[in-house]
Structure 1
Amino acid sequence: MDKKIWIAITFIAFLLSFTVVGIYSATQKQNTTNDYLLASRNVNPWLTGLSAMATRQNGGLFIAGTGVAYKFGCAFIWIPIGITIGNYIAWWLIFKKLRLVSQQTDSDTVSSFLGQENLGQKNQGRLITIISALIIIVFLGAFASAQLVAASKGLNAIFGWNNQLGIIIGAVIVVAYCFSGGIRASIWTDSVQAVLMIVSLWVLCITGLIACGGFGELWSKLNAIDPNLTNWIPGNLPWGFFPFFLGWVVAGFGVVGHPHILVRGMAIDSADNIALARNIQVFSGLVNSIGGLGIGLTARVLLPDLITSNDVELALPNLSIELLPAVLVGLMLAGLFSATISTADSQILSCSAALSQDLFPSPVHSYRKAKIATLIVTAVVLAIALTANNSVAALVAFSWSVLACSLGPLLILRVWQKPVSVPVAITMMVTGIAVAIIWSLGLNLSRAIYEVLPGMAAGFIVYGIADFLIKPKNLSQE
C-alpha cells in the first residue's frame, strides 16, 4: 500500500480519537452560557495545566519554532527559556487572584472582567468592555488564522495538498470541537493533544539525533555547516544579550493579555489548584521546546538544502517524511494538527465570547447566541487565513505582542483591584498597541528587545502618570 495512504489512515485515526474525547466531554456539559465559556468553573488542575500548555505552545512551536532553530541554531533555546520564566511568574502572581476575583465579579469573559465596575462608578466600564472585545476579536482572530496556516503547511508538505484545503479542514475540525462541548471539549481534547505533542516531538527528535550519529556527530556537523549554529548566545544583537533575553521573559509574562489562556485559569475548579496546573504546563512546555530545538538542529544537518530551496518552516514535516515510517509520520502530522487546533479552538471560543457576551450582550445570556458567534468568528478567521501571508512566525509574534501590550497591564490592575478610570483604561490599551506597532514595524527594534516589554511598560506608565496627577487633586479637595 502507498506510504501516503498509511500516513492518512494513521492521521485520521488520531483525529477520530480526539473526536471521541470531545463527544464524551459533551456528556458532561450543561446547556448554559457559563458552561459553554467556563465549563462551570469546575476543571481538573491536570487538565487545566496540559490544556494551557497545548494552547500556549501551538503551531508556532511545530512550524515557526523548529524553523527558527533550523535557521539560527542553539541560540534559539533562550527564547523558550525566557518565555517559560515569564510564564511561570505570571501564573504565580496573577492567575490565582484572577480565579478568585473573576468569580467574585461574576465575569464569564476577559472583556467583562476588564470592564468590571470601578469603586462607585456603576456601569462605567461598558466602553472598556467593548474596546477590549474588539481588540480580542481582531488580534486573537489573526492569531487563530496563523494556527490554520500552520496546519495547512503540514498537510501540504506531507500530502502535497493545496494550502487552502488544509486551512478549510482545520476550520471544520475547530467548529466540531467547539460545538461538541464549548470550552470543556476544548480543554479535554487539548489535554490528550498535549500528550501527543510531547510524544511526537520527541520521537522525531530522537530519530533525528540517531540519524545524525549521536549528539557529538550532530555538533561536529553543525560546526562544519556554520560555527554560529553551535553558539549558545545569539550573535549580532543590537543591544546585547541581556536586553534580548529580558524581552522574551516579559513576552512570557505577556500571557496575562491572552484570553484563550486566561480563561483556563478562570475555569479551574479551585484557586488553590493553580500552582499544580502552573507546574504541569511549565514543565511540559519546556520539555516540548527542547524537543523542538533538537528537531530544528537535526533537520539543518539532514536537510541542508532547505535553507535555500524551500521554506524553513517546513523543517519538521519534511524531516518526518525523510526519517519516519508511515505510521509515525501520521503520528507526527497528528501532533502538528494537535498543536494548531488546540490553540485555534480556544482562540475562536474567546473571540466568540467577546462577540456574543461583550459586544452584543442580552439581558439573559444566550447559549444559542454563543454558538452562532462561534460560527461567525470561525468564518472570519478562515477568511484571514486564506488571504494572509504564509509566515506563521510573523503572525504569531505580532498577535502575541499586541494582545499582551493592550490587555495585559489593565488585567493586572483589575486582578489586584486597583481603580482605573474609563479614559485611563482606554488610553492604556491604545498606547500599548501603538508602542508595540511602532517598536516593531516603525523602529524595527524587536531583535534588540521584543516589543512586549516597551508596550506593557507604556501601559503602566500611562497609569502611573494618571495616578500621580489625580491623587494630588483628590488630596487638595479633602
Structure 2
Amino acid sequence: MVEIAFIGFLAAFFLIGVSSYYFSQGTTADYLVAGKSVSAPLIGLSAVATNNSGFMFIGMIGATYSMGLSSIWLMIGWIVGDFLVQRTAVVKINQVGASNKVHSFGGLLSHWISSNQSSSDSTHRLRQFIGILTLLFLTVYAAAQLKAGTKATEVVLGWDASSGILIAALIIFVYSLVGGLRASIWTDVAQSLVMLLGMMLIVFYGWQSISESGAFWQQLNAISASYLFWFPVDSGITGAMLFVIGWMFGGMGVIGQPHIVIRFITLSPNSSVTKMQVYYYFWFTLFYGMTIISGLISRILLPEIGDFDAELALPMLSENLMPEVFVGLLLAALFAATMSTVDSLILACSAALSRDFTAQPINKLWLNKLATLIILTIAVLIALSNNQTVFALVLDTWGMLGSAFGALIIWLAIGKKVSVAAAFVAIVTGMSVFALFTLTGWWSMVYALTFGFSGSFLSLWILNRLPR
C-alpha cells in the first residue's frame, strides 16, 4: 500500500508536468521562461516549493531534532531576511526581466548592468562568468536534492540508495523535456500542496500519539536541561543576536538563487508581485512552522539511540505512526520537495548553457533539451557518489550563490549603477569571503553567508565611491 500510494502520487506529478505540453508554444523562450506570462498564485507557490526543498523535510527536521527549540530562529531569521530582499528587489527583477533579451539568470544581470551604465563596455564576459557559476553550483545543488529523496526510500521502502535518485531523475527529465519551465511550475504547485498536506499529517498523528502519553513540553524538557532554550547554549546576548542575524542573511540569500529569481522573471506583467508574495509567505510560514513542530515531535517519539541519523527522523516517524496510504503520501511529499527544486535547478542550468556562453543565443529547441539531459546526467552521477549530509550540501551551495549574487542584485535594485569590473569584483569577493569563513570555521555560530553577502556589498560601496 505504501508503494502504491507513493507511485500514484509520482504518476500524478508526472501527468501534470506532461500535460503542459499542450500549452507549449514550441519555442526556446517558452521552454526557458514559460512565455513570461504565468499568474501570481502559480509563481508564488512554485517559488516557495522550489525554495523549500529536501533540506526542509530532511535537513531542517534533523536540525530541530538535534538543536531543540533554538532552531525556531532559523525560521524567523530566514523568513524575515527573505521578505526584506524580496520587497526590495522582485518588482525591479520582473521589470528588467520583461526584456526579450532575458531568458537566463546571467542574461538578467548582464542586461540590467548594461542598461544602467552610460559606457559601452561589453558584458559578454560577465555573462559567461555568471553562466559558469550557475552551472557549477546549481548542478551540485541538484545532486544534493536528488540525494535527499533516497534517505526516505531507503528507510521506508527498503530500496537501494540509487533507486530514488534514478526514478526522480527520469520523471523530471521527461516532463521537463516536453514542457520546460512551464512544466516545472505546474508540477511545483501540485507538489507544494502535497508537501503541505504531508507535513500536516505528520504533525496531526504525532501530536495525537504524544497526547496519549503526557504533556508535550514536559517531555521535551526531560530530554535535556537546554533542549528548550530559545538560543544555543552559552551563546550570551551578543552570540544570540549574531545567531539570528546569521540566519536572516541566510534568508536574504534567496535573491541570489538563479532557479528562484528566474521564476520572478516569468511572472506576467498583468499580475501583482504583492499578490504573488501573499501566496509565497503564507505557505512558507505555515510549512516552516510545522517542520519545527515535526522535529520536536520526532525527538520525543524517536529517542536518540547510538548512531541514529537525525535526518531520517521524518520517514521513520511516519512509518511508526501513520496508516500505510499516508506513509506513501508523505514519502511522495518528500520526493515532491526534492523534485520541485531539482527540475528548477536543471532548467536554470540549461538556460545558462544555451544562452550565456555564445555571443548569439542558441535558439534551437532540441539543443536546449539536450542541455537539460546533460546537466541532469551530471547531477545524477554526483548524487550517486557523494557522501555529505543534505544539510551541509544545501547550505554550502545556497550560501555561495547568495554571497556571489545577492548583494549585487540588491545594489542594482536600489538604483545604483555597476560597471562590469565592479560586478566581477563583487561576485568574487562574496564567494571568497564565504569560502574563507566556511573553511576556517571563524565565527561558526554565524552563517557564513552573512560575511559573504556583507563583503560583496562593501566592495560595491567602496568601488562606487572611487573617483572615475
TM superposition score category, shorter chain reference: over 0.9
Equivalent of residue 168 in structure 1, options 163, 166, 169: 166
Q: Distance in 1 between matches of 2:176 and 2:417?
A: 35
Structure-2 residue corresponding to 1:111:
106
Shift of 1:272: 4.9
Q: Distance in 2 between matches of 1:284 and 1:38?
A: 23
Classify the secondary structure of the residue corresponding to 2:215.
helix
Shift of 1:422: 2.0
Q: Which moved more, 1:267-276 or 1:62-71?
A: 267-276
Shift of 1:350: 0.5
Taking the TM superposition and a 5 Å limit, the aligned residue runs for 1:202-281 are 202-213=200-211, 217-237=215-235, 239-270=238-269, 272-281=271-280
Q: Which moved more, 1:190-199 or 1:263-272?
A: 263-272
Classify the secondary structure of the residue corresponding to 1:340.
helix
Change (3 A) 1:360 1:191: same
Q: Is the 8 A contact 1:96 1:271 kept in 2?
A: no
Q: Distance in 1 between matches of 2:361 and 2:254?
A: 31
Q: Is the 8 A contact 2:431 2:452 kept in 1?
A: yes
Change (3 A) 1:171 1:360: farther
Structure-2 residue corresponding to 1:3:
none
Classify the secondary structure of the residue corresponding to 1:225.
coil
Q: Distance in 1 between matches of 2:251 and 2:64?
A: 18
Change (3 A) 1:357 1:214: farther
Q: Is the 8 A contact 2:85 2:410 kept in 1?
A: no
Structure 1 unmatched ranges of 5 or more: 1-5, 474-478
Shift of 1:310: 2.1
Q: Which amino acid letter does the alignment assign opposite residue 288 of structure 1?
A: F
Q: Which amino acid letter does the alignment assign opposite residue 107 of structure 1?
A: V
Change (3 A) 1:65 1:215: farther
Q: Distance in 2 between matches of 1:115 and 1:346?
A: 21
Shift of 1:233: 2.3
Q: Distance in 1 between matches of 2:171 and 2:135?
A: 20
Q: Distance in 1 between matches of 2:253 and 2:213?
A: 34
Q: Distance in 2 between matches of 1:21 and 1:46?
A: 17
Deviation string 1:196-252 (CA, Å, 9 cap, x unpaired) is 101100100111111111796121111111132222222233841111111111211
Q: Is the 8 A contact 1:132 1:407 kept in 2?
A: no
Structure-2 residue corresponding to 1:147:
145
Equivalent of residue 74 in structure 1, options 69, 75, 100: 69
Structure-2 residue corresponding to 1:56:
51
Q: Which moved more, 1:118-127 or 1:94-103?
A: 118-127
Equivalent of residue 408 in structure 2, options 395, 407, 410: 410
Superposed CA RMSD in Å reads: 1.7
Q: Which amino acid letter does the alignment assign opposite residue 124 of structure 1?
A: S
Give the percent of matched residue pairs that are identical in Structure 1 and Structure 2: 34
2:13 is the counterpart of 1:27: no
TM (norm. structure 1) is 0.93
Structure-1 residue corresponding to 2:461:
464
2:280 is the counterpart of 1:285: no
2:447 is the counterpart of 1:453: no
Equivalent of residue 343 in structure 1, options 336, 341, 344: 341
Structure-1 residue corresponding to 2:298:
299
Q: After the TM superposition, list the runs of 4 or more consecutive aligned residues in structure 1 that deviate by more than 6 angstroms.
A: none
Q: Distance in 2 between matches of 1:313 and 1:155?
A: 13
Q: Is the 8 A contact 1:435 1:454 kept in 2?
A: yes
Shift of 1:80: 1.3
Shift of 1:445: 2.4
Q: Is the 8 A contact 2:142 2:341 kept in 1?
A: yes
Q: Distance in 2 between matches of 1:247 and 1:102?
A: 30
Change (3 A) 1:271 1:230: farther
TM (norm. structure 2) is 0.95
Shift of 1:122: 3.5
Classify the secondary structure of the residue corresponding to 1:389.
coil
Q: Distance in 2 between matches of 1:60 and 1:363?
A: 34
Shift of 1:96: 0.8
Q: Distance in 2 between matches of 1:214 and 1:399?
A: 42
Deviation string 1:344-389 (CA, Å, 9 cap, x unpaired) is 1001110111111112454552222111110111111111111212
Shift of 1:431: 0.9
Q: Which amino acid letter does the alignment assign opposite residue 299 of structure 1?
A: S
Change (3 A) 1:234 1:325: same
Shift of 1:417: 4.9
Change (3 A) 1:326 1:100: same
Shift of 1:37: 1.1
Q: Which moved more, 1:247-256 or 1:119-128?
A: 119-128
Classify the secondary structure of the residue corresponding to 1:27.
helix
Q: Distance in 2 between matches of 1:231 and 1:363?
A: 54
Q: Distance in 2 between matches of 1:105 and 1:412?
A: 22
Deviation string 1:112-142 (CA, Å, 9 cap, x unpaired) is 1212225344461011111111111111111
Change (3 A) 1:215 1:395: farther
Shift of 1:104: 3.7
Structure 2 unmatched ranges of 5 or more: none
Equivalent of residue 310 in structure 1, options 297, 308, 311: 308
The total of aligned residue pairs comes to 464
Q: Distance in 1 between matches of 2:255 and 2:214?
A: 40
Equivalent of residue 8 in structure 1, options 3, 10, 14: 3
